[in-house]
Structure 1
Amino acid sequence: MSLFRVDKTTNFEGPHQSTPILKGGSESSEAEVAMILIHGRGATADSILTLADELDIDKKLTLRAPQASQNTWYPYSFMAPSDNNEPNLSSALQKIFDIIQELKTDGFSEENIYLTGFSQGACLISEFVARHPKKYGGLIALSGGLIGTGDSVNQQDYEGDLEGTPVFMGCSDVDPHIPKERVDESESVLNMLNANVTKKFYPGMGHTVNQDEIDHINQMINK
């Protein structure tokens, strides 16, 4: 089964199309780079925006944080059968695509757009990048991995070229929601798509974000 991919003709309508998109950071007209922040299950756009307060960025950064309908991007596990998570998953992918198009209208190329997510948001943003490969500013997946049924993802479902897009994947080695093996598989797919992946497992860490991960984000953007 081929994966759903968004383009300028798709215009998928689902539960997330009418939800708000919060803004933060610098105004688009003043910013050098943009970041899209995707919150986790049960969280809010407001909560993920606070992540930017921890960053130490030399460049002026504009932020976009969409809100999921009912605080959830898709209803079941990211390892459940994909059909079980529809139409929410496709709706969420369309939402991200539309934000990128708006940022491009504001003058940002994909190479100046960073895509960041935590937990369910990390799974969603990783899946978006893998299904829509091109040169992005960077992908930051905090406690997440690609979406796929069961114990593995099918590399044959993905094709294209990320053109060396820098990727940072950080996760606990004992995360109760994100199996270590799925993070490894996701790294393999992204490498196959020609990303430049840095992956770090943190021994015994909870389902959270630590300072070392923040430091990696700072280094990626300031570089």
Structure 2
Amino acid sequence: MQTNQHLSQSPVSYGAPVEQAGLVVYGVHGRGQAPEFMMEVADRVDLPDVAWLLPAAHDQSWYPQSFLAALNENQPALDDALETVRTHLDGVLDRRHRPPVAVFGFSQGACLLSEYLLRDQPNLAGAVLHTGGYLGPSERDWAVSDRLTMADLTVRMFTARNDSWVPLHRVEATGVAFRSLGATVELTVYDDPDHHVNDDSVDALRRYLRQVTGSSPGHKATGHQSAGH
């Protein structure tokens, strides 16, 4: 029987304690990265009332092939990765008196979260997908959940116009998919070829998380972080 190696490591807790937080952000890193990458983003966002829950992919990869490969070419790793996200988020969402929960993914992490959100349609407070889209070689249709859980969700998306790994057309198709399920989508496209989280998207992420928590402004990001795919 195969073991889900992603679940062999517990998510890293960073920032505010969950019990004291105004918001929990489940932050999923990209290929070749680790939770430390998301810690750096969290430091740049600089919201002290946010608890960051940061999973770690086995061997720093959630699935082996391109996200545009046939779905079966990324199995069984893709199912394991989806099970990992589902298990971690179920644990947070089941807490009594829990703060609201949002997800944030970059690159391969954004692809994984896109696939999870469109399949499961969980009841979340927010979603930020940076340089990623749902998996598979062609566009897909998605059935609306009977619970209509996407109706109150705003999905914030960012990408480069000419990214080396993530084509704009798939990011746009992913936005269309979320809209078809009732979500509001806000997409920012950068004329920035670097595969990274730039300062403008950090500022936008901070504003978005403040809107989710209803917290007041007063923090400023510093620095510039490049990232691998």
TM-score if structure 1 supplies the norm length? Answer: 0.87
Which residue does 1:146 correspond to in 2? Answer: 134
8 Å CA contact retained: 1:25, 1:62: yes
1:186 to 2:174 alignment: yes
The 1:105–1:133 alpha-carbon spacing in structure 2 relative to 1, beyond 3 Å, is closer
Which residue does 2:37 correspond to in 1? Answer: 47
Which residue does 1:159 correspond to in 2? Answer: 144
Structure 2: 5+ residue stretches without partners: 212-229
The structural deviation recorded for 1:45 is 1.3
CA distance in 2 between partners of 1:108 and 1:206 (Å)? 41
Q: 1:127 aligns with which of 115, 136, 143?
A: 115
8 Å CA contact retained: 1:134, 1:163: no
Determine helix, strand or coil for the equivalent of 1:17.
Answer: helix
8 Å CA contact retained: 1:17, 1:95: yes
The structural deviation recorded for 1:108 is 6.0
8 Å CA contact retained: 1:166, 1:220: no
Question: Mapping of 1:21-170 within 5 angstroms?
Answer: 21-57=11-47, 60-107=49-96, 112-148=100-136, 150=137, 152-155=138-141, 157-160=142-145, 161=148, 162-170=150-158
Determine helix, strand or coil for the equivalent of 2:156.
Answer: strand
8 Å CA contact retained: 1:40, 1:118: yes
Determine helix, strand or coil for the equivalent of 1:141.
Answer: strand
Deviations 1:177-197 (A, max 9, x none): 000100110010010011111
Q: RMSD value over aligned CA atoms?
A: 1.8
CA distance in 1 between partners of 2:52 and 2:123 (Å)? 19
Query: What is the identity, as a one-letter code, of the residue corresponding to 2:108?
Result: Q
Which residue does 2:10 correspond to in 1? Answer: 20
CA distance in 2 between partners of 1:138 and 1:108 (Å)? 18
More displaced stretch, 36-45 vs 97-106: 97-106
Percent identical: 27
More displaced stretch, 176-185 vs 203-212: 203-212
The structural deviation recorded for 1:103 is 1.2
CA distance in 2 between partners of 1:165 and 1:108 (Å)? 20
8 Å CA contact retained: 1:174, 1:180: yes
CA distance in 2 between partners of 1:106 and 1:170 (Å)? 30
Deviations 1:17-68 (A, max 9, x none): 21231110111111121000101001111222221101143x7111111110
The 1:77–1:16 alpha-carbon spacing in structure 2 relative to 1, beyond 3 Å, is same
8 Å CA contact retained: 1:34, 1:114: yes
